[in-house]
Amino acid sequence: MPTLPLVCWTSFTWVQVLGAVAGGLVLCQLNLYLTTAVLHRGLTHAAILYPRWLQRSVVAWLFFTASIPPLTWSAAHRHHHATSDTPDDPHAPGRIGFWRVLLLTWYYVPRWARANWAVARQRYLSTVQHERFLHWLDKPGTANVNFYGQLALSAALGPVGIVFWLARILPYALLSGYVNSAGHTLGERPFDNLGTDARGLLQTVLGYVVAGETLGHNHHHRYPTNAVLRAEGFDPGFWFATTVLRGTPVRPIIRPPLTVGANRRDARGRFDMPS
Ligand SMILES: [Zn+2]
């Protein structure tokens, strides 16, 4: 009698494979919206407030379906705000190039966190120091078992399992890299900081795919604790957060007029506002 993996490798149909691709892509799209709404605007910047159970559930969901260690993501992102495009920035397209950041953000983020964990805990994670569940998810052992275990299981399940893994993980990783590369190189720079806002049809369409992250990345670097990322126009991530997830903006929403030069450098000469 054949084992389960052998059955999966020999008795699949192409309809099942196509269904797995479609399911993986839908999951990827959902996860991009959950990332901006809860991981980015909620856990990292405290711009939108969610019930604690919802925030933990979404973070755990992203850990198991997109292999994102939440505290690693959060601390590396806060450090990116504080050090944009300097040698300390975990992913700076101005220094290491557009394509490297797009293709390798998934590698740069945990690399920075593991090399700077003491700094991450002290500077960026003090508000979640008692969140034992989040710290457990972030342990390298837990994260590695989750990632490699799912990879091995998907391979054992045959072509259907493999394409499902690829369709939900690969575009998520590349589109997250796109946010960090395009969000600092493509489009407009209405405020005097290193982020950019999408311009033109293609960048705008991709901006909706990544839940609004690149539609107002320049505005976000000017006002990182603002619940909306865009100074003007519809913000799909904000809509998702406040309508589907029913999150509440913590502070008044700032939608300032777009005036070039409205920003000033801080005391250390940086354009970006500290997060
Ligand atoms: Zn941010």
* Tens-digit pLDDT profile for residues 98-123: 999 999 999 999 999 999 999 999 99
In a domain, 270, yes or no: no
Where does the pLDDT of residue 5 fall: very low under 50, low under 70, confident under 90, or very high at 90 and above?
Answer: low
Residue-range definition of the domain harbouring residue 178:
4-249
Ligand 1 geometric centre to CA of 27 (Å):
23
Average pLDDT on 8-15 reads 83
Average pLDDT on 49-53 reads 96
- Give residues with Cβ within 8 angstroms of 38, minimum separation 6: 48, 50, 54, 55, 58, 59, 62, 241, 245, 247
Ligand 1 geometric centre to CA of 42 (Å):
10
Where does the pLDDT of residue 264 fall: very low under 50, low under 70, confident under 90, or very high at 90 and above?
Answer: very low
Q: In degrees to the nearest 10, what's the CA dihedral of 172, 178, 179, 184?
A: 170
Predicted confidence at residue 193, as pLDDT, reads 82
Ligand 1 geometric centre to CA of 205 (Å):
20
List the helix and strand counts (H, then E) for the chain. Answer: 13, 2
Ligand 1 geometric centre to CA of 7 (Å):
45
Predicted confidence at residue 24, as pLDDT, reads 98
Q: What is the rounded radius of gyration, in angstroms, for the C-alpha atoms of the chain?
A: 19
Instruction: Work out how many domains the chain is built from and give that number.
Output: 1
In a domain, 124, yes or no: yes
Ligand 1 geometric centre to CA of 221 (Å):
7
Ligand 1 geometric centre to CA of 258 (Å):
19
Where does the pLDDT of residue 11 fall: very low under 50, low under 70, confident under 90, or very high at 90 and above?
Answer: confident
Ligand 1 geometric centre to CA of 178 (Å):
14
| β strands within the chain, DSSP E | 48-49, 248-249
Ligand 1 geometric centre to CA of 247 (Å):
17
- Per-residue pLDDT tens for 140-177? 999 999 999 999 999 988 999 999 999 999 999 999 99
In a domain, 262, yes or no: no
> What's the rounded Cα separation, in Å, for the pair 63 and 142?
10
In a domain, 242, yes or no: yes
Angle between helix 52-66 and helix 14-34 axes, rounded to 10 deg: 140
Amino acid identity for residue 52 in this structure = R
In a domain, 264, yes or no: no
The answer to whether residue 258 scores a pLDDT higher than 60 is no
Predicted confidence at residue 273, as pLDDT, reads 43
Ligand 1 geometric centre to CA of 93 (Å):
16
Residue with tokens 């292999």: 67
The answer to whether residue 15 scores a pLDDT higher than 60 is yes
Percentage of the residues of the chain whose pLDDT score is greater than 90: 80
**Predicted TM-score of the model (pTM):** 0.90
The answer to whether residue 26 scores a pLDDT higher than 80 is yes
Find, among 202, 201, 235, 200, the residue nearest to 216 by Cα: 235
Ligand 1 geometric centre to CA of 160 (Å):
35
Residue with tokens 């000017």: 222
- Give residues with Cβ within 8 angstroms of 256, minimum separation 6: 231, 262
Q: Would you say the C-alpha torsion 45, 48, 52, 57 has a positive or negative sign? A: negative
Percentage of the residues of the chain whose pLDDT score is greater than 70: 91
Ligand 1 geometric centre to CA of 80 (Å):
8
Where does the pLDDT of residue 275 fall: very low under 50, low under 70, confident under 90, or very high at 90 and above?
Answer: very low
Predicted confidence at residue 272, as pLDDT, reads 45
Predicted confidence at residue 103, as pLDDT, reads 98
Ligand 1 geometric centre to CA of 47 (Å):
10
Q: Secondary structure of 79-104 in the HEC alphabet? A: HHHHCCCCCCCCCCHHHHCHHHHHHH
In a domain, 254, yes or no: no
99 by Cβ neighbours in 10 Å (0-12 / 13-18 / 19+) ranks as exposed
Ligand 1 geometric centre to CA of 112 (Å):
16
In a domain, 88, yes or no: yes
> What's the rounded Cα separation, in Å, for the pair 125 and 254?
25
> What's the rounded Cα separation, in Å, for the pair 159 and 9?
7
Mean pLDDT, the chain, whole residue set: 90
Predicted confidence at residue 267, as pLDDT, reads 47
Ligand 1 geometric centre to CA of 11 (Å):
46
In a domain, 147, yes or no: yes
Predicted confidence at residue 7, as pLDDT, reads 54
First to last CA, the chain: 59
- Per-residue pLDDT tens for 120-134? 999 999 999 999 999
Ligand 1 geometric centre to CA of 224 (Å):
6
Ligand 1 geometric centre to CA of 70 (Å):
14
